[in-house]
Structure 1
C-alpha cells in the first residue's frame, strides 16, 4: 500500500508544481497572452506554451526521479521552475532585434519553434543538473 501512496503523493505534487510553473510563466511574461492567442488559432503561441509545459515536465520528472524525499522533490522542482522562467525572460532581453511577444502575436512560427526548442533544451539541461 505504501508504494501506491508514494506514487500518488509524487504525482500529485508534480502536477501541482507543473500548474504553479505555468502560472508563474504567465505572471512573469504578462505581455505574452498565450491562452487568448491559442483561442485565436495562433500556432506560435501554442508552440511556446507547449514548449514551456514540456520543459517544466522534463525538469519535474527529473526532480521526482532523483529526489530522496518528497520535500527534496519540491525543492528541486521549484529550483527547476524558477530556472526555466529566468531563462525565458532572458531570451526576451537578449533578442534586441525584435520583440518576442510581438513576433508571437503576429504568429511568427519561426520564433515559436525557436522558443519551443529553447524551453525543451533548458528543461533538459536543468533536469540533467538535478542528478546526484
Structure 2
C-alpha cells in the first residue's frame, strides 16, 4: 500500500499475540500503530489520539469495544473515523455504533488487511 502520508491505526486488542501480529502486519505496510490491550488506558488517552482507523476488539477484560465504538461515534473529532470491530462472538454483534465493518476471529490475514486498506483509502 503506497500512501503519500503515513496513516495511523489505533488497535485495541487484549490478546497480546493478536495485538503484536496486527502491529507487525500494519507496520510492514508503513502504517503507524498505536496498540492498547485494555479499554481503560485507551479511554484515558482517547481525547489525544489521532487515528485514520480504529481496530477494536469487542470483548475486553475491562470494557467493551462495542461501547467504545459508540463513544467514538458520539465525539465530533472521531465521528467519521472508520472503525472495524473484531470478535470471535459474531452472534452477539449488533451494529448500532455504525462501524464500517466486522472481522470474525480467527481471521485470515489477507482478509483483515484488505478491510484495513479499503478503510484507509
TM-score between both structures, scaled by the size of structure 1: 0.30
Q: Which has the higher strand share?
A: 2
Bigger relative contact order, structure 1 or 2, given CA contacts below 8 A and separation 6+? 1
TM-score, length of structure 2 as denominator length: 0.32
Pick the structure with more helix per residue: 1
Q: Which entry has the higher C-alpha Rg, 1 or 2?
A: 1
